[in-house]
Structure 1
Amino acid sequence: MLAFVGACNRNFYNPTATQVLLWRNNRSPAQAVYRTVRRKIEPVVPPLGVNTAGDRMVASLVGDALRPMQEMWSSVAAQMV
């Protein structure tokens, strides 16, 4: 019986005294019961116009990458006028 309790404790299962006695009196395994649950999968896309941390990060990265090009084109346009 101690082997059963030890095996349960190694698997983080703490049977009650009644469960241990039931196992001791009837050691044959019970028929397994399986249950499936269908989960609704919803997209995780924030609505437009929401100022999230990801939006701010992308805007910062894109802005930093395009700023030198923007400055170059504005200086070219200023020279043409």
Structure 2
Amino acid sequence: MQHTEIYFKTWCPYSQNALALLDKKGVSYTAIDVTNDLPRELEMRERTGRTSVPQIFIGELHVGGFDDINALDKSGKLDELLAGEDATVAA
């Protein structure tokens, strides 16, 4: 299974939904709480070019936020990505 990272904020419902989806999938992930951590938030912005949370990486691939990962799940591509298979992801 691919290493997964998620940048999130504790008060954000989209972050909570993304964490719940990863938990439901049984994914082992690194959760990076940027709620009150400006250096980590700046790191997230540098890596993703985005300011919103959550931001999710599967392996080295930035898959985006909750709407993106949810769409991947509904299409069946999330399981492929998590398994390390070469799934085509629309940016």
TM-score above 0.5: no
Q: TM-score, normalised by structure 2?
A: 0.24
The higher-RCO structure (CA 8 Å, 6+ apart) is: 2
**Larger helix fraction of residues:** 1
Larger radius of gyration: 1
**Larger strand fraction of residues:** 2
Q: TM-score, normalised by structure 1?
A: 0.26
